[in-house]
Amino acid sequence: MKTLRRSIGKPEVGGEPLAPPFQGFQREGMILRRAEVTVIAGTPGAGKSSIALHIAARLKQPTLYFSADTNAHTMAMRLLAMKAKITQAHAEYMLKTDPAKAQEFLREFSNLYWSFEPSPTLKDLDDEVSAFETMWGRSPTLIVVDNLMDIAIDGHEEFAGMRQVMKELKYLARDTNACVLVLHHTKEGALGYPCQPRSALQGMVSQIPAMVLTVGQMMQGQDVYLCVAPVKNRYGKADHSGSTYISLSFDPASMYLEDIVRDYRQIETSNG
């Protein structure tokens, strides 16, 4: 039995904010927190993995990254491209022709630990976390699951299985005091530009996470922006329609993201 006053001033009691990866996140109260689940959702190719990888890299905290959707070579190529601000094609060439230089660039990301099991079970996730704790004597600060649909669970219809996985990930977040960041798909036909509404999430899994961000891309002239909308935020401002969002400067060739001076905002009048 606990009393809340005992948690005041004590580290790692749950809900502590992590350092914001971008100024726009800080400004709009889009703060990832320990012992909570955050979902980043979008259509295929919207930029979910790009922003998750930036969060993990910029946080510089012990991170366990379940990359079921992408193999080790591709993730190394993406990280190298982001770090060196070069195209992914150039990064792949460097990995092949100058591995020593590539390793030097990637040395900065020694806080990231990986699992590339293509269809992990909940037990696989638990075993990897236990192995991390055994090796490092502590739980990860951040656990990334890319993505929800790749987690294997028997005995459930697909959407019911997703909801069960989300419940288990919530337990994992509380048990480890880690921020659990889950990537998930939205319905491709759902309205909403550049960011879709909360209702577009597949499987009706938005009840459990503390925060849900939908992402999408937008062009202004020759410039590309990755837009992020807080469609659910237990600790701050949210707009379930996805019409209120921040914009990050985005280079798809290198996957590099950065803050911009001002945010582009758009309200889709067709969505009401």
Q: How many CB atoms lie within 10 A of CB 113?
A: 15
pLDDT score of 158: 82
Write b or e for each residue in 210-219: b if 16 or more Cβ atoms lie within 10 A of its Cβ, otherwise e: bbbbbbbbbe
Q: What is the pLDDT of residue 154?
A: 78
Question: Residues near 163 by Cβ (< 8 Å), separated by ≥ 6?
Answer: 203, 204, 205, 208
At residue 4, the pLDDT reads 39
What's the Rg (C-alpha) of the chain?
18
* Cα end-to-end distance, the chain, whole Å: 47
- pLDDT of 153: 83
Strand order across the beta sheet in which 211-220 lies: 112-115, 63-67, 142-146, 179-185, 37-42, 211-220, 223-233, 246-251, 256-259
Using left for φ > 0, alpha for ψ between -120 and 50, and beta otherwise, residue 251 falls in beta
Identify whether the C-beta of residue 184 lies closer than 8 Å to the C-beta of residue 39: yes
Structural tokens at position 171: 């337990």
Low-confidence ranges of the chain (pLDDT < 50): 1-11, 263-272
CB of 145 within 8 A of CB of 65? no
| Closest C-alpha among 162, 207, 169, 208 to residue 185 | 162
Task: Give the DSSP H or E segment for 159.
Answer: helix 158-176
Task: Give pLDDT, residue 157.
Answer: 82
State pLDDT tens for residues 172-197: 999 999 999 999 999 988 999 999 99
pLDDT of residue 268: 38
DSSP-derived secondary structure letter, 95 = H
Q: Which H or E run contains 223?
A: strand 223-233
Q: Are 259 and 53 in contact (CB under 8 A)?
A: no
The pLDDT assigned to 188 comes to 87
DSSP H or E segment with residue 129:
helix 122-136
Residue from 239, 201, 209 nearest 46 by CA:
201
Cβ atoms of 125 and 154 closer than 8 Å: no
Task: Choose among 51, 114, 141: nearest CA to 106.
Answer: 114
Does the N-terminal peptide bond of residue 147 adopt cis geometry, omega within 30 degrees of 0?
yes
